[in-house]
Amino acid sequence: MNATPAAKKHQQHRVNLHRSTDELQFFNLLTSPALFDEVEACLPEHRERLFPPTETLTLFLAQVMNSDQSCQQIVNQAAIKNITMGLAPCSTHTGGYCRARQRLPQEMVERLARFVGTSLSESSPDIWRWHQRRVLLVDGTTVTMPDTEVNQAEFPQQGGQLPGLGFPICRLVGITCLGSGALLNAAIGKFNGKGSGEQGLIRSMQDSFEPGDLLIGDAFYATYFFMAAMIAKGVDLVMEQQGARRRSTDFRQGRRLAERDHIVDITKPRQKPDWMTEEEYAAAPASIRIRECKTGGRVLVTTICDPAIHKSELGDLYKQRWQVELDIRNIKDTMGMNILSCKTPEMAIKEIWVTLLGYNLIRLLMVQSAVLADVLPRCLSFKHCLQLWVLWCQRVQVPEVEEYLQLFELMTQQRVGNRPGRIEPRAVKRRPKAYPLLLKPRQQARQQVLNFGHPKKLK
pLDDT value at residue 434: 76
Q: What is the mean pLDDT of residues 289-310?
A: 94
Residue numbers of the domain that contains 49: 5-106+343-411
Tell me: do 306 and 350 sit in the same domain.
no
**Residues 76, 92: contact at Cβ < 8 Å?**
yes
State how far the Cα of 252 lies from the Cα of 283, in Å rounded to an integer: 31
pLDDT value at residue 442: 86
Work out the mean pLDDT of the chain and round it to a whole number: 87
**With bands split at pLDDT 50, 70 and 90, how would you rate the model's confidence at 21?**
very low
Tell me: do 227 and 313 sit in the same domain.
yes
Q: What is the mean pLDDT of residues 39-44?
A: 68
Give, in order, the Cα–Cα distances in Å from 278 to each of 273, 281, 284, 327, 428: 10, 5, 10, 37, 49
Percent share of the chain, pLDDT over 90: 61
Tell me: do 64 and 24 sit in the same domain.
yes
Residue 123, Cβ density class (10 Å: 0-12 exposed, 13-18 middle, ≥19 buried) = middle
pLDDT value at residue 458: 59
Please give the tally of structural domains in the chain. Answer: 2
Asked if residue 365 belongs to a domain, the reply is yes
Tell me: do 10 and 80 sit in the same domain.
yes
**Is the pLDDT assigned to residue 22 strictly greater than 50?**
no
**Is the pLDDT assigned to residue 64 strictly greater than 80?**
yes
Tell me: do 21 and 93 sit in the same domain.
yes
**Is the pLDDT assigned to residue 18 strictly greater than 70?**
no
State how far the Cα of 211 lies from the Cα of 114, in Å rounded to an integer: 18
Tell me: do 226 and 316 sit in the same domain.
yes
State how far the Cα of 390 lies from the Cα of 409, in Å rounded to an integer: 16
**Is the pLDDT assigned to residue 148 strictly greater than 60?**
yes
**Is the pLDDT assigned to residue 19 strictly greater than 50?**
no
Asked if residue 164 belongs to a domain, the reply is no
pLDDT value at residue 359: 96
**Is the pLDDT assigned to residue 298 strictly greater than 80?**
yes
Tell me: do 20 and 98 sit in the same domain.
yes
CA 211 to chain centre: 22
**With bands split at pLDDT 50, 70 and 90, how would you rate the model's confidence at 395?**
confident
Asked if residue 177 belongs to a domain, the reply is no
pLDDT tens digits along 248-266: 788 999 999 999 999 999 9
Asked if residue 288 belongs to a domain, the reply is yes
Asked if residue 292 belongs to a domain, the reply is yes
pLDDT value at residue 33: 65
Tell me: do 224 and 314 sit in the same domain.
yes
**With bands split at pLDDT 50, 70 and 90, how would you rate the model's confidence at 135?**
very high
Asked if residue 443 belongs to a domain, the reply is no
**For 440, phi and psi rounded to 5 degrees?**
-150, 160
Tell me: do 41 and 91 sit in the same domain.
yes
**Is the pLDDT assigned to residue 351 strictly greater than 90?**
yes
Tell me: do 22 and 97 sit in the same domain.
yes
Asked if residue 261 belongs to a domain, the reply is yes
Asked if residue 326 belongs to a domain, the reply is no
**Is the pLDDT assigned to residue 14 strictly greater than 80?**
no
When mean pLDDT is compared across 84-93, 94-103, 357-366, 379-388, the lowest value belongs to 84-93
pLDDT tens digits along 324-342: 999 999 999 999 999 999 9
**With bands split at pLDDT 50, 70 and 90, how would you rate the model's confidence at 45?**
low
State how far the Cα of 128 lies from the Cα of 132, in Å rounded to an integer: 8
pLDDT value at residue 230: 96
pLDDT tens digits along 184-243: 999 999 998 776 788 899 999 999 999 999 999 999 899 999 999 999 999 999 999 987
pLDDT value at residue 5: 58
Tell me: do 307 and 353 sit in the same domain.
no
Tell me: do 316 and 348 sit in the same domain.
no
SS3 170: strand
pLDDT value at residue 397: 75
